[in-house]
Structures are given as structure tokens and as C-alpha cells.
């Protein structure tokens, strides 16, 4: 019984941490460094599947650090979606989409 309670508690903690990470409005940065446009939007909408570093790959999400896509291709995929990825054209502005696509380009290894 004790093992079940521990397991459920850890599962609940993981869920809370995941949900808190998905809905944040800001990215913690060094105060001396300016915020990177698109980083907070990426954190809010993309980390659940791609992870904060772009490598998570949940639900078939691509490893963004290994991507060879151009800026235009990234914008198109974010705008219209691809396979299991939802389109964001009705959620994000064109500027936000462009900023996220630019930010994703900074994740490459």
C-alpha cells in the first residue's frame, strides 16, 4: 500500500511540474542578457512535446537540434502543422510564429 501511495504521489508531482512548465509566460534568463524573441512562446506552446532543449521528442515530435529546415520551412510547419503537430495559425500571430521559428533555429547543435 505504501508503494502505491508513493507511486501515485510521484506521478502527481510529475504532472504538476509538467503543467507548470507548459503554461509559463516567461523564460528565466540571465538579467544581463536580453530575452530571445520567441523563447517564451516556445516554452508556452512547444516544450510539452519538444522539451525545453528541443530534444524531447514526445508523441513523435522531431528533435529540433538536428533539424535542417530553413526559416521558411519552420514558419510553414508552425503555421500549418505537420502530422500530429497542431497548426498554430489561429493561436499565434505571424510575428510570434516567425519569432518561434527563429528561436528554434538557435537550438541546433
Average model confidence (pLDDT) across the chain: 80
Give me the helices (H) in 1-109, please: 2-22, 39-45, 47-50, 71-80, 94-105
* Stronger pLDDT, 15 or 102, i.e. the higher one: 102
State how far the Cα of 67 lies from the Cα of 104, in Å rounded to an integer.
Answer: 9
pLDDT band at residue 31, thresholds of 50, 70 and 90? low
Question: Rounded to two decimals, what is the model's pTM?
Answer: 0.69
* Stronger pLDDT, 36 or 22, i.e. the higher one: 36
The domain in which residue 37 lies consists of 2-105
Instruction: Work out the average pLDDT over 18-40.
Output: 60
Instruction: Work out the average pLDDT over 87-94.
Output: 98
Contact 78, 100 (CB under 8 A): yes
Give me the pLDDT at residue 66, please: 94
Instruction: Work out the average pLDDT over 11-28.
Output: 44
CATH number of the structural domain spanning residue 34: 1.10.760.10
Domains held by the chain: number: 1
Give me the pLDDT at residue 34, please: 65
**In the chain, what's the furthest Cα-to-Cα distance?**
54
Amino acid at each position: 500500500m505504501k508503494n502505491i501511495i508513493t507511486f501515485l504521489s510521484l506521478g502527481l508531482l510529475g504532472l504538476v511540474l509538467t503543467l507548470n512548465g507548459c503554461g509559463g509566460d516567461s523564460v528565466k534568463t540571465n538579467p544581463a542578457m536580453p530575452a530571445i524573441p520567441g523563447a517564451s512562446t516556445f516554452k508556452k506552446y512547444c516544450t510539452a512535446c519538444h522539451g525545453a532543449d528541443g530534444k524531447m521528442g514526445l508523441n513523435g515530435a522531431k528533435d529540433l537540434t538536428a533539424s535542417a529546415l530553413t526559416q521558411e520551412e519552420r514558419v510553414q510547419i508552425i503555421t500549418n502543422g505537420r502530422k500530429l503537430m497542431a497548426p498554430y495559425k489561429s493561436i499565434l500571430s505571424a510575428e510570434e510564429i516567425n519569432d518561434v521559428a527563429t528561436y528554434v533555429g538557435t537550438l541546433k547543435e
